[in-house]
Amino acid sequence: MLIAVLSGFILAAFAPWLARSVGDKAGWMLSLLPAGLFVYFLGFIPAVIEDGALVIHYTWIPGLDISLNFLVDGLSLLFALLISGIGTFIIIYAGGYLHGHPHLPRFYAIMFGFMASMIGLVLSDNLITLFVFWELTSITSYLLIGFDHENKHARWCALQGLLVTVAGGLALLAGLVMIGLAAGSFELSEILADGDVLREYPLYTAMVLLVLAGCFTKSAQVPFHFWLPNAMAAPTPVSAFLHSATMVKAGVYLLARLNPGLGGTDLWLYGLGIVGALTMFTGSFMALRSTGIKAVLAYTTVMALGTLTMLIGIGTELAITAAMTFLLAHALYKASLFMLAGALDHETGTKDILEMGGLRRLMPITFVTACVAALSLAGLPPLFGFIAKELMFEASLQAPGIAFFATVLAVASAIMIVAMAAVFATRPFLGDLKKTPKHPHEAPLSMLIGPVTLAALGLLFGVAAFIPAAAIVGSSVAAVYGAPVEVELYLWHGINLPLMLSILAVVAGVVLYRQWDRVLAMFERMTFIDRFGPERGYEHVMRGLDWIAAWQTGVLQNGYLRNYLTTIVLSTVVVTGWTFFFRADGAISLEDETGFTFYELGVAALVVMGAVVASVTSSRLGAVATLGMVGFGIALIYVLFSAPDLGITQIMVETLTVILLVLVLYRLPDFLNLSNPVVRMRDAAVAVSLGGLMTVLILAVNGVTVNDPISDQLVAWSVPEAHGRNIVNVILVDFRALDTLGEIFVVGLAAAGVYAMIRFRAEDKQK
C-alpha cells in the first residue's frame, strides 16, 4: 500500500526523463502506472464489502504520534478508483492534447505528483498525514494551474487558487488538531468509531467552523467559489482531472469522511445544507451566463460541489446514498465533458461556444459522446446521472428542516443545468459549419479513448445500476453514514414526486435552452453581478495586504541602524524587564559577590574605562581602540575565570573586528556629532537601561540555586560518552550539535547577506 501511494511521487521524478526519451507515445506508457493502481484498488473491493474497512499500518514519526496508516473503506476506495481510473485517461489524453508542447515532460512530473498527493489524501488514516497530502494537492495544483507560466493571467489565477485554498488549509489544520485533541487520537479509524466524543466537545462549534473553512475553500463553496472558474487557466487535461475526481472533491471527501464524527447536529445540517444549496444555485446560474466552453463546465462543477455538500449536510440515509451516487455520476460525465471540450478547443482553436457550429460531420465521435455525457449531466434516463438526480430530489424533499429551501433551489438549478447541457451538446455540432481559427477534424485516439469510455460507463451504470451499487456505492455510503446501509439503485422509481420534478426540470430546461440567446443578451446588461461578486472581496483583501505590507515595512524597516538598535534594545528591556520584575520575584542576591582579587578589579576597571571613553571620544580611531580595550579586557576576564576557549575566541573576534574596521574605515562618513544633547541623553538612557538590566539579570542568575545542574551531568558524561576532555567543544560538536548546526547556518547566511549587500552596491554604482 505504501508503494502504491508513493509510486506516483517516484514516477514524478522519472517522468520527465522518460517522456523525453520515449517521445510521442510517453502518455500511453506513463498511463500504465495509474492503470495498474486502478487494478490494484479494484482488488480491495471484495475485502471492503466483506469487512467494511481495512487499516494498514506504517510508522512514520513515532515521537509525534504521526503515522502513515492507510484506511481503506468504501469511501476512500471509491475516491482512489476515480483518481487512478480517470487519471489513466487523463495521462493518455494529455499526451495528445499537449502534443509537442516543450514543457510536456514537466507536465507529467507535476501531474503524477498531484495524483499521488490526491491518492495519499483519500487513503490517509492519520489526520496530520491527511493534512500533509491536502497541502501537497494545493501546491501541485498551483503548479498545474500556472503551468502556462509565461502567461500573466495564468499566474494570477494559480496564485488566487493557492491563496484561497491554503488560507482555508490553515484553518483546517487548527480544526484537525482540535479533533485530534478532542478524540484523543489522530487516527480516523479510531476517531470515527465514537462520534459522540466530538459532538460533546465544548469547542465543537469552533472545531466545525474551522474544518468547514478548509473544506469550503478547497471545494469552492459560496463565497469562495470564484477561484475555481479561474483555475480554467490550466491546460484542459488538468481541468478535467481537477474538476472530476480530484482537487475540488477533496473538500467534499473530507466532509463525507468526517460526517460520522461531526455530522448529525443542527450546525452541520444548516451549515452544509444552506451553503451547499446556495453554491448549487450560484454554480448553475453562472453556468447559464457563460459562453466559454470550459467556463460552462467549471460552473457546473461548482453546482455539483454544492449539491454534494448539501446532501452530506442533510445526512439522512437517502441523502448520503444520493451524494455517493451523484459523486460517481458526476466524476464520469464531468471528466468526459471536459476532455471533449478540450478536443473541441484543440481542433477548432476557439473556446467560445458561440463561435463553433456544424461540427457533427467533421467530429462525429465527439458529437455522439458529448450527447451521451450531456444527457447524464442533464439527468435524463437511461443515464447514471438520472438516478443520481432522482435520488437528490428525493433526499431534498425529505431533508429535515430545509426541505422547501433545498428542493426549490435544486429544481431551479436542474432547469438551468438541463439548458446548459443541451447547449453544450448541440451548439458546437448542429447548424451551419462556422469558420474557426483552425480547420477542425476528429481528435486523435488518445484524446477520444477517455471521454468515450467514461461516457459509456455512465450509460452502463445507468442501465445496470446494480453493478456500481453492489461494488462500491453501498460500501461508501456505509462509510459516510457510519452504519451499514442497504443500497439499491434503479432507473425506474415509479411515478412519484421526484419524477415529476425531473420532468418539470427537463421541460423548463428545454424552454430555457430555446431562449438561451435572449437570456444571454439580458445578462450582458447585468454587469453589476461582476462588480459586487466575492471575487472583488478577494481583490480588496489582496490590495489591503499589499498596503499593510508596504506600510509596516516603511515603519519597521526604515533603514536607520540607530532606529533598529533602539527598537531591539527597548523591546528586550521592556519584555525581559517586565517578566523579571513582575512575573518573577525580581530578587537579586549579593551574598556571594565578595573576595575580588586586585587584578580582577584592575581588568574590570579597564573595561569600564574603555567603554566610557568609547562613548565620548571625538575620534573614530580612538573609539575603535577603546572598544578593542573593552574586548580584550573581557577576554582577560574569561581567562581569569578559566574559560580558555572563550578567551581565545574573544581575542580572535576582536582581531577580526579590527581588520573589518580597517577595511571599511575609509568608506564611513565623517565622524561628526550631529545629534543634539536631548537625543544623546535619550540614547544614553536606552543604553544604560539595557546595561542595567543585564547586570541585574546576571546577579539574579547567580542567586538561583539549581538542585541538579545539567552542567554536572555534562561534565560527567564528557569523557565516557563523548571521548573528549574539552567540555566546551564536546557540547558544541556532540551534545548540542543541532544547535551548533543552526548557528553555523546563521554564520553562512550572514556572510551571504553581507556579500550580496556589498556586491549589489558595487554593481549599482557602476551603473
Partner 1 sequence: MTTMGSLILRTASRFLLPLLLLFSVFMLLRGHDEPGGGFIAGLVAATGFALYLFAFDAGRTRELMWADPRVLFGLGLLAATLAGVPPILVGEPFFTAMWWPIEVPGLGEIKLSTPLVFDIGVYLVVLGGVMTIVLALAEAEE
Closest separation in Å from C-beta 655 to partner 1: 6
Min. distance of Cβ 722 from partner 1 in angstroms? Answer: 6
Burial 460-485 (b: 16+ CB within 10 A, else e): bbbeebeebbebbbbbbbbbbbbeeb
Residue 620 sits in the site that holds partner 1 (CB under 8 A): no
**In the block, which residue shows the cell 553581507?**
754
Q: Write each residue from 702 to 731 as x if it is in contact with partner 1 (CB under 8 A), else as -, in one continuous string.
A: --------------------xxxxx-xxx-
Comparison of 265 and 740: residue with beta carbon closer to partner 1: 740
Q: Assess contact for 445 and 366: CB atoms under 8 A.
A: no
Q: Which is nearer to partner 1, 611 or 651 (CB)?
A: 651
Q: Measured between alpha carbons, how far is 1 from 6 in angstroms, rounded to an integer?
A: 9
Q: Which three cell numbers, joined as nine digits, stand for 357? A: 457550429
Cβ proximity to partner 1, 58 vs 745, nearer residue: 745
Which 647-676 residues touch partner 1, going by CB under 8 A?
648-649, 652-653, 655-656, 659-660, 662-664, 666-667
CB of 754 to partner 1, least distance (A): 5
Residue 397 interacts with partner 1 (CB under 8 A): yes or no: no
Task: Considering the complex, state which of residue 14 and residue 745 has its C-beta at the smaller distance from partner 1.
Answer: 745
Residue 730 CB, nearest approach to partner 1 (Å): 7
Cell 448549487 locates to 280
Which residue, 85, 234, 205, 64, is CA-closest to 146?
234
Contact residue for partner 1 among 554, 586, 644, 709 (CB under 8 A): 644
CB of 66 to partner 1, least distance (A): 16
Pick the piece of the chain touching partner 1 (CB under 8 A) from 370-378, 411-419, 500-508, 756-764. 756-764
Of 659 and 672, CB closest to partner 1: 659
Strand partners, 193: none
Give the shortest CB-643-to-partner 1 separation in angstroms: 9
The nearest distance, CB 2 to partner 1, in angstroms, is 19
Binding to partner 1 by residue 628, rule CB under 8 A?
no
Bridge partners for 66 per DSSP: 61
Q: Is 740 in the site for partner 1 (CB under 8 A)?
A: yes
Residue of the chain from 39, 556, 575, 758 that contacts partner 1 (CB under 8 A): 758
- Please report how close the Cβ of residue 724 comes to partner 1 at its closest, in angstroms: 4
Residue 162's Cα: distance from chain center in Å? 7
Q: Which stretch binds partner 1 (CB under 8 A): 269-277, 423-431, 487-495, 759-767?
A: 759-767
Which of these ranges, 110-118, 319-327, 507-515, 642-650, lies near partner 1 under the rule CB under 8 A? 642-650
Lookup: cell for 321: 446514498
Could you tell me if 110 and 143 are in contact, meaning their C-beta atoms sit under 8 angstroms apart? yes
Please identify, using beta-carbon distances, which residue of 529 and 741 lies nearer to partner 1: 741
The reply to whether 621 sits near partner 1 by the rule CB under 8 A is no
* Residue pair 283/305 in contact by the 8 Å Cβ criterion: yes
211 CB-near residues (< 8 Å, 6+ apart): 171, 172, 175, 176, 179, 254, 258, 262
The minimum distance between CB 720 and partner 1, in angstroms, equals 12
Site string for partner 1, 15-44 (x = CB under 8 A): ------------------------------
DSSP 492: -
Helical H runs in 349-381?
364-378
Q: What are φ and ψ of residue 182, in 5° steps?
A: -65, -40
Nearer to partner 1, 362 or 727 (CB): 727
- Fill in the DSSP letter of residue 395: H
Give min distance, CB of 624 to partner 1, in A.
15
User: According to CB under 8 A, which one of 738, 764, 766, 767 is a site residue for partner 1?
Assistant: 738
Q: How far is the CB of 731 from partner 1 (least distance, A)?
A: 10
Q: How many CB atoms lie within 10 A of CB 699?
A: 15
Cβ-based neighbours of 610, under 8 Å, separated by 6 or more: 626, 627, 628, 629, 630, 633
CB contact at 8 A, 427 and 345:
no
Binding partner 1 (rule: CB under 8 A), the pick from 152, 483, 762, 766 is 762
Q: What is the rounded distance in angstroms from the CA atom of residue 303 to the CA atom of residue 418? A: 12
The Cα-based distances of 264 to 189, 267, 273, 307, 373 in angstroms read 18, 8, 12, 18, 35
Among 32, 61, 684, 744, binds partner 1 (CB under 8 A): 744
CA contacts within 13 A on the Cβ side of 136: 22
Q: Report the alpha-carbon distance of residue 361 to residue 648 in Å, rounded.
A: 89
Total site size for partner 1, rule CB under 8 A: 43
Report the C-alpha gap between 310 and 284 in whole angstroms. Answer: 15
Separation of alpha carbons 607 and 318, rounded Å: 84
Nearer to partner 1 (CB atom), residue 531 or residue 723: 723
Nearest to 309 by CA among 211, 235, 384, 381: 211
The least CB distance from residue 667 to partner 1, in Å, is 8
Least Å distance, CB 659 to partner 1, is 5
Chain residues that interact with partner 1, rule: CB under 8 A: 644-645, 648-649, 652-653, 655-656, 659-660, 662-664, 666-667, 722-726, 728-730, 732-734, 737-738, 740-741, 744-745, 747-748, 750-752, 754-755, 758-759, 761-762
